[in-house]
Amino acid sequence: MLFDDVVHRKVEVMKAIRFARHGEPSEVLEVEDVPVPEPGEGQVRLRILATPVNPSDLLYVRGFYAGVQARFPAPVGFEGVGIVDVLGPGVKDFTSGQRVSVVNGQGGNWAEYAVVPATDLFPVPDEIPDEQVASFVINPASAILMVRRVLAVPKGEWLLQSAAGSELGRMVIRMAKCDGVRTVNVVRRRESVAELEALGADAVIVSTEGPIDEQVREIVGSEGVKYAIDPVVGETGTQMFKALHEDGRMLVYGSLTGEPIRVGEDPRYILAGRRTLEVYWLGYWLPRLTDAERRQLREDIVTLMREGIIETSPGRKYSLDDIGEAVAQAEQKGRQGKVFLVPGK
């Protein structure tokens, strides 16, 4: 393991990153000393080894993440890797000292310790590095669920995606190639094209070089694409909706611009055909999976990670005390790799 170099000791106070109001992360996030939480019925306390700085975390701090209501002072951090520290009453499926992927639906992984329901832990094989375990669920599960389950894109079809150079976008490119799905990938910079093509992208278009819908139809044909995923919305999402086939489906899984998709600005796209705009949120889908489906999802992620198809590019690592620098690095344009917070650093 890469991060677990901290000697276990009994502690009563820990460092945790919290915020007392919504706002810019660099302005409202604070490192505080707080009591170490105790697990209740069906819960587990984890010693956090590493936790990524994800876009969803920063949207939550800014008050734009509709899925979770902040209760101030609010903890932060929806994902991570940790060591099982204390089992609450009724927990039987985990053991003390076990390394697990930690999904924290209410936030709280940007801390030395966190308490979550045992059902939100994913056991992982020993050979998978900590960086991959820390980012085991949010992006990998979303890529799999969106492409294979929600849209169920058939082999040979085209899938259009924006933010294709993101960690999740790269996962989608590699997984689609593995599944025989062709991808049209939207980026903002011409410099990204060759890199994504090397990953297996079938086509890459630059949004600043012409309307997205026109560029898409030049590639796939005049009827447009039947499947699309978009975390950007705003003008990008609007043009992607225009690129849909008359029976096309588009999933929105983020709001990087915070602007609306204007699906009704051109009557041709709402008064003909059956184009569908849907919202995808992992927090909706995970609890609705059966135990068998969760096990299958975990197995799929492990298999794809071992094959190098779904993996996170590790970036810089910061201590909790350096949260300001970590956030700035995470939002830097052209950044390479995922930024991690390492509580023991």
pLDDT of residue 1: 46
**Residue 82 has what pLDDT?**
97
Left, alpha or beta for 197 (phi > 0: left; psi -120 to 50: alpha)?
alpha
CATH code at position 119: 3.90.180.10
Residues 122 and 143 grouped into a single domain = no
**2 found inside a domain:** no
Residue 256's pLDDT is: 78
Same domain, residue pair 124 and 152: no
pLDDT of residue 6: 40
pLDDT of residue 309: 92
> In the chain, which stretches have pLDDT less than 70?
1-11, 264-272, 334
- Pair (45, 80) in one structural domain: yes
Among residues 267, 283, 299, which one ends one of the domains?
283
Count the domains in the chain. Answer: 2
Q: Using the 3D structure, point to which of 265, 283, 301 is the last residue of a domain.
A: 283
Residue 3 lies in a domain: no
Are 19 and 123 contained in the same domain?
Answer: yes
Closest CA to 279 of 299, 306, 259, 249: 249
- Position 5 scores a pLDDT of 42
Range of the domain at 159: 139-283
* pLDDT value for 2: 46
Distance separating alpha carbons of residues 246 and 2, to the nearest angstrom = 49
Q: Can you give the pLDDT at residue 270?
A: 67
pLDDT of residue 11: 62
Within this chain, do residues 153 and 276 fall inside the same structural domain, yes or no?
Answer: yes
Q: For residue 179, what are the CA distances in angstroms to 182, 281, 295? A: 9, 23, 20
